[in-house]
Amino acid sequence: MSTPKERVIIRGGRVIDPANAVDDTLNVCLAGGRVVSVGHCPDGFQADLELDATGLVVCPGLIDLAARPGEPGLEHKATIASETRAAAAAGITTLCCMPDTRPTLDTAAVVNLVKERASLAGKVKVLPIGALTRGLNGKDLSDMSALKQAGCLAVSNAYAAVINPLVLRRALEYAASYDLLVILRPEDPHLANQGCVHEGAIATRLGLPGIPHAAETVAVAQVLALIEDTGVRVHFSQISSGRAVQMIRVARTQGIRVTADVAAHQLQWTDACVEDFDPLYHLRPPLRTEADRLALCQGVQEGVIAAICSAHQPHEPDAKRDTFPATEPGIAALETLLPLTLDQVTRGSLDIMTALAALTSQPARILGLESGHLSPGAPADLCLFDPAATWTVNAETWHSQGRNTPYWGCCLQGRVRYTLIDGCLVGNWTGIHTQR
Amino acid sequence: MIHPPALPHGLQLTADGRLRHFLTVEGLSRELLTRIMDTAESFASVTEQSVKKVPLLRGKTVVNLFFETSTRTRTTFELAAKRLSADVLNINVATSATSKGESLLDTIRNLEAMHVDMFVVRHDESGAAHFIARQVAPHISVINAGDGWHAHPTQAMLDMFTIRRLKQRFEGLKVAIVGDIFHSRVARSDIHALRILGVRDIRVVAPRTLLPTDIATLGVTPYCDLDEGIRDTDVIIMLRLQKERMSGAFIPSLHEYFSRFGLTDSRLVHARPDVIIMHPGPINRGVEIDSAVADGSRSVILQQVSHGIAVRMAVMSMAMQPAITPEKTT
């Protein structure tokens, strides 16, 4: 890792900075861990490090709103050290950690532990998301003020539901007292009913218990009504259905303060992938229909869904070595976040500016971060990637401890060359470099 | 560019199209289903002889691996294997190692180490037979004896065998499947088999709570009225209604269910006079079927049970065929 005082110049790259609507071949100067200029270098700027970005896209570092790096308590799946390394290799400079760890992130002590491990790893910025309720039990409020003091910008109940709407309302209000963002994964547990795939023709054919659209829309409707009552700020995590996109679209036009994200793989696949009982496609929320997939893409392009997240959930091999319903849901997805998002650009469903905004400036805005853009003075968190480079997912190129991805052995397009955090190069780049 | 590798199709067939595992009826050809029935026909005569054995699977070991209780299916598989001269091992996992925490995969690995040749698997989770078929050594065949709500292919084949024996054809038949379609692997496998064999008029009859979403995509017509659903049918397949369905709010009461969907003699006037009544068993008298119908002249329920042995002999011998062919030639 280079020292933070370093002055860096990045020459000849295609700078895409969605927050400033910049898309041009420009030089970028960094100093003291901050962006100094984009375009002309200040007179007399002497760089300690010069990066040739010819053929590369230079954009703000990616900000991932939903990841599960395994610590504390799930070190057999992944560790903060392994997953921050993977994040850095994937161009991710800020990683939000969901609170469903063991123990949960419901006390300042556990939050501090995560921050400490992250600082020891010394790679990306890790933002622990606090638990909305104690132990995610859905009943008792967590000590949110203490969580905020410990550094949490947001609280969430992760995949656990708050069943009682009165408790949910009070939790939202209490969070709002400390200006904490509340991240909710909307799913009605009774309607989801321990399903493992989208309820539809494929679930019917395979005889797998389905999760209906209504499991998501009922929860979205409930939360929207509570936001209307309380005025609190809510972010919906991992929207999976077209109907929920429409509900959020309408709510936003009515002035309700709500944002949403989608997992990159939800833009890519449908429940047809489950056809052969392949547990790598056992995801939560489940993959839905082609109509849903198209609506989600459109939602991102329109800005109704502001952000794209990885929903990274690494698992040990045994977690996926059982019958489909008995396997654990989730996909290791940090390192496929950028390639999958870029593929939506190639397919024409997103334009490059929207796609990169959904990975950078939008999640920054949702969390209230000062990063996510390349304005002078902004933290020098950058991602330099080669959009044309292809790479094969294998033990040499993959960094996450979790290998639960259907892309194992596959060729992906779009490869990160350099990740800078506060102006410093991070990552072990030998082995990551691939040929164009 | 970003597309995961093609899913491994044809898990249950060999490269030359013969049966290696029997996991689901879906995707198989009409020819193959017909061959199963023809083979079963040849075994049916064996089971009617005084000496009921053929030496086709002599020296082979068949493991009945039942993770869910069953009497009929397990015993007919056991009889079928024994009549093919195989050694049979019955393992009831509910009282065995997985209750001590052993994983499904470890159970399979341990049995494999005992050099067995075939697994007959019943499991309460959909996809279990597929999972096991992917894990076992190449010489081992897996027969699905029922996985979750997904498939029960030998039941479907014995149902088809019964229909063929009694109706001599499939084209033009009207078939109604009545009852808890939602939780029924038998219904799913029967629907696939009937479609493959050329039946175009297949109805599923149940209250909406017991019909799975988008069931029509399987090529069937849903009905919520029994009289309408069985009108002019040649075959009625009744399904067992598990009594615990009331607690899941699927039906209000057994009484109301029987009054709307229970098959009685008076209901049968809507079907064709030569209609046959089938049921995979075990039957709930007075819940989905009246005793007078179950025991009546149009009921073929007990014939289904005997046909089950011949059909299972056929499937087991065909699945072991690639393995036993070389021995024949030497």
Q: Which domains does chain B have, with CATH numbers?
A: 9-151+308-329 (3.40.50.1370), 153-305 (3.40.50.1370)
User: Does the pLDDT of residue B325 top 60, yes or no?
Assistant: no
Q: Do A201 and B126 touch (CB under 8 A)?
A: no
Within 8 A of B4 by CB-CB distance, chain A residues are: 273, 406-407, 410
- pLDDT band at residue B101, thresholds of 50, 70 and 90? low
Q: Averaged over B218-247, what is the pLDDT?
A: 93
Q: Is the separation of the CB atoms in A118 and A83 below 8 Å?
A: no
Count other Cβ atoms within 10 Å, centred on residue A138: 18
Does residue B212 belong to the interface with chain A, where contact is any CB pair within 8 Å?
yes
Say which of B125, B149, B185 has its CB closest to residue A323. B125
- Please name the amino acid found at residue A329: P
CA A119/CA A131 separation, integer angstroms: 21
Question: pLDDT tens digit string along A382-410?
Answer: 999 999 999 999 999 999 999 999 999 99
Indicate the domain borders of chain A.
8-58+377-431, 60-367
User: Does the pLDDT of residue B83 top 80, yes or no?
Assistant: yes
Q: Report the number of secondary-structure helices (H) and strands (E) in chain A.
A: 12, 19
Q: Do A325 and B148 touch (CB under 8 A)?
A: yes
- Please name the amino acid found at residue A55: G
pTM here?
Answer: 0.93
Nearest CA of chain A to the CA of B123: how many Å? 10
Q: Is the separation of the CB atoms in B211 and B222 below 8 Å?
A: yes
- Could you identify the residue written with the tokens 């390639």? A339
Q: Do B123 and A277 touch (CB under 8 A)?
A: no
- Which range (A75-84, A149-158, B102-111, B167-176) has the least confidence? B102-111
Within 8 A of B212 by CB-CB distance, chain A residues are: 203-204, 210
CA A276/CA B134 separation, integer angstroms: 11
For B35, B123, B159, B222, B239, the CA distances from B210, given in Å and listed in that order, are 33, 21, 22, 11, 11
Q: Is the separation of the CB atoms in A345 and A351 below 8 Å?
A: yes
Q: Is the separation of the CB atoms in A48 and A290 below 8 Å?
A: no
User: Does the pLDDT of residue B47 top 80, yes or no?
Assistant: no
Does residue B218 belong to the interface with chain A, where contact is any CB pair within 8 Å?
yes
**pLDDT number for residue B328:** 39
Within 8 A of A271 by CB-CB distance, chain B residues are: none
Say which of B103, B149, B213 has its CB closest to residue A207. B149
User: Does the pLDDT of residue B253 top 50, yes or no?
Assistant: yes
Say which of B2, B11, B123 has its CB closest to residue A323. B123
DSSP annotation of B5 reads P
**Residue A183 structure tokens:** 């991240």
Does residue A272 belong to the interface with chain B, where contact is any CB pair within 8 Å?
no
**pLDDT number for residue A433:** 40
User: Does the pLDDT of residue B6 top 80, yes or no?
Assistant: no
**Residue B50 or A350, more confident:** A350
Say which of A212, A326, A406 has its CB closest to residue B4. A406
Q: How high is the mean pLDDT in each 10-residue block of chain A (436 residues)?
A: 74 98 97 96 93 97 97 96 96 98 97 96 94 98 98 97 96 96 97 97 97 98 95 95 98 96 98 95 98 98 98 97 96 98 98 98 98 98 97 96 97 96 77 37
**Residue B304 structure tokens:** 């289904």
User: Does the pLDDT of residue B7 top 60, yes or no?
Assistant: no
For A197, A217, B88, the CA distances from A192, given in Å and listed in that order, are 10, 11, 41
CA A74/CA A188 separation, integer angstroms: 26
Domains A8-58+377-431 and A60-367 share a fold: no
Residues in Cβ contact with B75 at an 8 Å cutoff, skipping those fewer than 6 apart: none
Question: pLDDT tens digit string along A123-166?
Answer: 899 999 999 999 999 999 999 999 999 999 999 999 999 999 99
3-class SS of residue A240: coil
CATH class as words, domain A60-367: alpha beta
Q: Give A87-142 as a DSSP string.
A: HHHTTEEEEEE-S-SSS-S-SHHHHHHHHHHHHHHTSSEEEEPEESBGGG-SSSB-
The domain made up of A8-58+377-431 has a fold known as: Urease, subunit C; domain 1 (2.30.40)
Q: Pick the residue of B125, B130, B177, B185 with the most A CBs within 10 A to test the interface with A by mutation.
A: B125
Q: Do B128 and A323 touch (CB under 8 A)?
A: yes
Within 8 A of A270 by CB-CB distance, chain B residues are: none
- Could you identify the residue written with the tokens 């690494």? A314
Q: Is the separation of the CB atoms in B17 and B284 below 8 Å?
A: no
Does residue A204 belong to the interface with chain B, where contact is any CB pair within 8 Å?
yes
**What are the beta bridge partners of residue A61?**
none
**Residue B7 or B112, more confident:** B112
User: Does the pLDDT of residue B51 top 90, yes or no?
Assistant: no
Question: pLDDT tens digit string along B117-128?
Answer: 999 999 999 999
Mean model confidence pLDDT for chain B: 91
- pLDDT band at residue B156, thresholds of 50, 70 and 90? very high
- Which range (A363-377, A379-393, B67-81, B145-159) has the least confidence? B67-81
CA B265/CA B286 separation, integer angstroms: 12
Q: Report the interhelical angle of B30-48 vs B301-319 (nearest 10°).
A: 110
